């Protein structure tokens, strides 16, 4: 079943109201769509007054990022104060548009440093020679499994997983599903909503999870069975979570939704316990990278910024600002994350090179199979 809606893209808010509202906003903005267009870049300047610090002189860099990048003002200002480097941000669009623009402008780069390319698009940018080699001395040991050569630095990760409305299942006297195969059972017919991999980053991640889980010979059959169990497909994560999912605002009819392992804290109630849970046996791990652009005007400043992205202040800031996990697993998570949003211990992963080689064909096959 498909309910088509116009893809939406939203920018993260750094404003803080109540903790629950902030979490919900940040979670909403984690789910960037993969729109194929190339919107005109927007830019903002973020800098603090340079004070005495380790920076030799006042300079500037241009950060090219996606439109969901967010960092606390005081954290970014500390970087400028310490190094003397001011930061101007240019955002060409979402994650897909970011890579497209980097490739199209590689002869005349948009800036000095990039943040926000994830492992579903990284190989394309690497193959196009967009980045200059740089290995940060601040790289933590926990980043090693996600290295893609010497030109991209892992900064954060997120686990795309199915989530369930625990209250709905309790009220209906059912045990929630736990695995991908559970979704095919008759008792879970008409209960699941996912997003289209052609228009949604989480949707693509979930497609990749099923390819990794079922293999080239089995993933199409799996989706045929999922379709026949009255699967609902929508264009974007916001619609899936806030319109069709019963566990977000209580309005939807489907108690199983494609979201993130970090989603449950958003639903913490007055009793201090979330009403939803992530199914950690259904996850694909998205990893976001930073890199120095080949031909950067200020490569040393770009390298310093990557070191900053790996620093404890920035790593500790990313859960609250971008609702993702720091790549440095030694950095403490917020208390509610540690209890209710743990990282998945195992994930279904596809090598970045395989994604680049097969992404379009896989999406075309999925579309023909599921949407007809």
Per-residue DSSP letters for 84-147? -EEEEEEEEESHHHHHHHHHHTTTS-S-SEEEEEETTTHHHHHHTT-EE----TT--GGGGGG-
Residue 361: inside a domain: no
pLDDT band at 121 (very low <50, low <70, confident <90, very high): confident
Q: By residue range, what is the domain housing residue 189?
A: 159-284
Cβ-based burial of 270 (10 A; exposed 0-12, middle 13-18, buried ≥19): exposed
Q: With bands split at pLDDT 50, 70 and 90, how would you rate the model's confidence at 50?
A: very low
Is 349 inside any structural domain?
no
What pLDDT is stored for residue 104 in this prediction?
95
Radius of gyration in angstroms for the set of CA atoms belonging to the chain, rounded to a whole number: 20
Q: Are residues 213 and 304 in the same domain?
A: no
Give the number of other Cβ atoms within 10 Å of residue 137's Cβ: 7
Q: By percentage, how much of the chain surpasses pLDDT 90?
A: 74
Confidence of residue 6 (pLDDT cuts 50, 70, 90): very low
Q: Which residue has the higher pLDDT, 211 or 47?
A: 211
Predicted pLDDT at 3: 56
| Residue 75 covered by a domain | yes
How much is the pLDDT for 200? 85
Does a structural domain hold residue 64? Answer: yes
User: Are residues 81 and 182 both part of a single domain?
Assistant: no
Furthest C-alpha separation in the chain: 66
pLDDT tens digits for range 308-356: 999 999 999 999 999 899 999 999 999 999 899 999 999 999 998 899 8
Judge if 232 and 309 occupy the same domain: no
Whether residue 96 sits in one domain with residue 230? no
Q: Would 314 be classed as within a structural domain?
A: yes
319 and 202 belong to one structural domain = no
Read off the pLDDT of residues 10-29 as tens digits, 9 standing for 90 and up: 322 223 333 444 455 456 55
Q: Among 284, 300, 319, give the residue marking a domain's end.
A: 284
How confident is the model over 122-146, as a mean pLDDT? 95
Buried b (16+ CB within 10 A) or exposed e, 34-55: bbeeeeebeeeeebbebeeeeb
**Inside any domain, residue 321:** yes
* pLDDT band at 120; cut points 50, 70, 90: confident
Q: Are residues 145 and 30 both part of a single domain? A: yes
Q: What is the pTM of this model?
A: 0.81
End-to-end CA distance of the chain: 10
Residue 51 above 50 pLDDT?
no
- At 199-229, the pLDDT tens digits run 888 999 999 999 999 999 999 999 999 999 9
- The span from the CA of 112 to the CA of 305, in Å, is 10
Whether 355 contacts 120, CB under 8 Å: yes
Asked if the structure places residue 93 within a domain, the reply is yes
Determine the Cα–Cα distance for residues 119 and 121; give it in Å rounded to an integer.
Answer: 5
The residue-averaged pLDDT of 295-312 equals 98
Please state at what angle helix 73-83 crosses helix 299-309, rounded to 10 degrees: 130
Could you give the dihedral angle defined by the CA atoms of residues 137, 141, 147 and 151, in that order, rounded to the nearest 10 degrees? 0
**What CATH number corresponds to the domain at position 59?**
3.40.190.10
> Is residue 61 located within the same domain as residue 133?
yes
Q: Has residue 365 been placed in a domain?
A: no
């Amino acid at each position: 079943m498909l309910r088509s809606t116009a893809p939406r893209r939203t920018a993260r808010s750094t404003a803080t109201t109540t903790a629950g509202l902030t979490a919900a906003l940040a979670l909403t903005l984690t789910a960037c769509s993969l729109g194929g267009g190339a919107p005109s870049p927007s830019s903002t300047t973020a800098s603090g007054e340079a004070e005495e610090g380790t920076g030799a002189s006042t300079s500037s860099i241009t950060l090219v990022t996606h439109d969901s990048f967010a960092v606390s003002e005081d954290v970014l200002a500390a970087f400028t104060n310490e190094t003397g480097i001011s930061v101007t941000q240019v955002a060409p669009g979402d994650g897909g548009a970011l890579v497209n623009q980097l490739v199209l402008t590689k002869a005349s780069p948009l800036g000095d440093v990039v943040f926000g390319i994830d492992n579903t698009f990284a190989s394309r940018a690497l193959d196009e020679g967009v980045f200059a080699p740089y290995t940060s001395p601040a790289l933590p040991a926990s980043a090693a499994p996600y290295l893609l050569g010497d030109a991209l630095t892992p900064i954060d990760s997120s686990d795309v997983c199915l989530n369930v409305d625990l209250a709905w299942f309790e009220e209906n006297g059912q045990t929630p599903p736990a695995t991908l195969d559970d979704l095919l059972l008759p008792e879970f017919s008409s209960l699941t909503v996912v997003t289209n991999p052609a228009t949604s980053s989480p949707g693509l991640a979930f497609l990749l999870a099923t390819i990794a889980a079922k293999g080239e010979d089995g993933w199409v059959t799996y989706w045929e069975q999922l379709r026949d169990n009255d699967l609902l497909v929508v264009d974007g994560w916001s619609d899936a979570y806030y319109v069709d999912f019963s566990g977000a605002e209580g309005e939807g009819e489907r108690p199983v939704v494609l979201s993130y392992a970090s989603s449950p804290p958003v639903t913490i109630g007055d009793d201090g316990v979330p009403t939803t849970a992530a199914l950690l046996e259904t996850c694909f791990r998205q990893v976001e990278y930073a890199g120095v652009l080949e031909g950067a005007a200020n490569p040393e400043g770009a390298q310093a910024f990557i070191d900053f992205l790996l620093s404890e202040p920035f790593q500790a800031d990313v859960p609250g600002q971008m609702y993702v996990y720091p790549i440095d697993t030694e950095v403490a998570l917020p208390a509610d994350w540690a209890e209710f949003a743990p990282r998945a211990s195992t994930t279904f992963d596809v090598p970045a090179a395989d994604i680049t080689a097969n992404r379009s064909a896989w999406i075309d096959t999925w579309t023909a199979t599921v949407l007809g």
